[in-house]
Amino acid sequence: MRVLVYGAGQLAQMMYLAGAPLGIEVEAVDVSSDTVVHPVSKLPLDASLEQAIEAADALTVEFEHVPERLLEQAEKSNKLMPSMEAILVGADRVREKQLLETLQIPNCSHRIVTSLDELDACISALGDKLIIKASRDGYDGYGQWRLTSADQLEEIKQALDGLDLSAVPLVVEKMLSFERELSLIGVRSQNGDIKVYPIAENLHYQGQLHVSVAPAPKVDAALQQQAEDIFKRLADGMQYTGVLAVEMFQCGDQLLVNELAPRVHNSGHWTLTGSDTSQFENHLRAVTGLPLGDTGARSPAAMINIIGCGTFSRELLSIPGCHLHWYGKTVRDKRKMGHINLTAENYQMLGHKMQQLVAYVP
């Protein structure tokens, strides 16, 4: 079987590695040049995009910002999973909020803004602590502006001046003081079976994910159930096939959905060593019509991103239960270069191993 992934980064690479033992061949599309490449070497393969689409059993994406003309072409083949509509929900915060409202899923108080004059009304409605988000092309905290008091409004308006807000509106959210950030990764098969992983707790720094711990500590059955109900409503509501990630804020005992990612997700990388079936394998199983695999956690697990640095000691592998995934990319500031997965028999040991890591990663 063959799966074509739009996007040729680390997620396509990890899908390739998960597919090999199942006899699923994964190819990637470099969307900047419309070329079909090997997901690990990134070298061009001997097929045009049209030929690769024709030869594939399923088409999928590793990121949501795939040019729409490519998505349209992919959708026409009737092999794209999840659907173009689901991918566009992940790529556009306005569509995302509309879906959450339609499905009555709790989310952060917000306003959709199509001109800078409307920002004053946002302050009256939501208060003067706001996060202003471009509705398209944002990731890892890029395309966001924070307002912490009303006097910053003029400065922010200047920074936003020049954006075409009628074409790409802003989503203005109340800045929440939440307990913590959680995510739920789940998978839905073509015939509607659903399996979800335990909730992960995510630590962000400057808008970017640094660490995930799964299962998240202090999650009672009611909270896990609340997250699973949200997942089911979303996945069924979109007739979704594949892995879907739901980022949430925990406020008291309520979960508010922040973002959806229609794909395998950084906060699910722990599943490579912490679960019986990784998110990458389950995504491939779903899009190729195979039975879904077990999503339980074997033991507490942590995923630590290696960000913006290429020099660290591989001696970190001496820590028991420590695994490295290096993506082989050129080093750039704030770029995700690789990640480390840790497992341990309990949270205390996990914390201890995370402290040991500090000696190896700058």
Please, which residue, 16 or 270, has the CB nearer to ligand ADP?
270
Sign of the alpha-carbon dihedral angle for 34, 39, 42, 45:
negative
Nearest Cα to Cα of residue 281 among 341, 200, 195: 195
Identify whether 82 is preceded by a cis peptide bond (ω within 30 of 0): yes
CB 247 within 8 A of CB 259: yes
Our finding on whether 176 is near ligand ADP (CB under 6 A) is: yes
Please, which residue, 62 or 173, has the CB nearer to ligand ADP?
173
Our finding on whether 64 is near Mg ion (CB under 5 A) is: no
Work out the number of other CB atoms within 10 angstroms of the CB of residue 354. 17
Please, which residue, 173 or 281, has the CB nearer to ligand ADP?
173
Among residues 10, 60, 258, 295, the one that binds ligand ADP under rule CB under 6 A? 258
Among residues 165, 175, 297, 354, the one that binds ligand ADP under rule CB under 6 A? 175
Work out the number of other CB atoms within 10 angstroms of the CB of residue 303. 27
Our finding on whether 181 is near Mg ion (CB under 5 A) is: no
Please, which residue, 219 or 260, has the CB nearer to ligand ADP?
260
- Tell me which DSSP letter residue 206 carries: T
Our finding on whether 173 is near ligand ADP (CB under 6 A) is: yes
CB of 193 to ligand ADP, least distance (A): 28
CB 269 within 8 A of CB 277: no
Among residues 27, 62, 96, 259, the one that binds ligand ADP under rule CB under 6 A? 259
Residues 6+ apart with CB under 8 A from 248: 181, 182, 183, 184, 227, 230, 255, 256, 257, 258
Q: Which listed range, 10-18, 40-48, 132-140, 217-225, lies at the site for ligand ADP (CB under 6 A)?
A: 132-140
Please, which residue, 265 or 283, has the CB nearer to Mg ion?
265
Our finding on whether 181 is near ligand ADP (CB under 6 A) is: yes
Token pair 């096939």: residue: 241
CB of 352 to ligand ADP, least distance (A): 26
Our finding on whether 251 is near ligand ADP (CB under 6 A) is: no
Please, which residue, 90 or 300, has the CB nearer to ligand ADP?
90
Our finding on whether 259 is near Mg ion (CB under 5 A) is: yes
Please, which residue, 173 or 259, has the CB nearer to Mg ion?
259
Q: Which residues fall in the annotated binding site for ATP?
A: 93, 133, 138-144, 173-176, 181, 204, 258-259
Among residues 9, 106, 138, 237, the one that binds ligand ADP under rule CB under 6 A? 138
Return the one option of ligand ADP, Mg ion, none that residue 111 interacts with (CB less than 5 to 8 A, by type).
none
CB of 241 to ligand ADP, least distance (A): 23
Nearest Cα to Cα of residue 125 among 144, 145, 141, 108: 108
Residue 256 sits at φ, ψ, to 5 deg, of -115, 130
Return the one option of ligand ADP, Mg ion, none that residue 62 interacts with (CB less than 5 to 8 A, by type).
none
Return the one option of ligand ADP, Mg ion, none that residue 181 interacts with (CB less than 5 to 8 A, by type).
ligand ADP
CB of 262 to Mg ion, least distance (A): 13
Token pair 């229609």: residue: 262
CB of 356 to ligand ADP, least distance (A): 27
Our finding on whether 140 is near ligand ADP (CB under 6 A) is: yes
Residues 6+ apart with CB under 8 A from 47: 27, 36, 55
Our finding on whether 96 is near Mg ion (CB under 5 A) is: no
C-alpha torsion angle, residues 307, 211, 296, 79 (rounded to 10)? -40
By the 10 Å C-beta count (0-12 exposed, 13-18 middle, 19+ buried), 114 is classed as: middle
Tell me, what amino acid is at 215?
Answer: P
Distance, in Å, from the CA atom of 230 to the CA atom of 105, rounded to the nearest integer, reads 7
3-state class (DSSP) for residue 111: strand
- Residues within the interface to ligand ADP (CB under 6 A): 108, 131, 133, 138-141, 173, 175-176, 181, 204, 207, 247, 258-259
- Residues within the interface to Mg ion (CB under 5 A): 247, 259
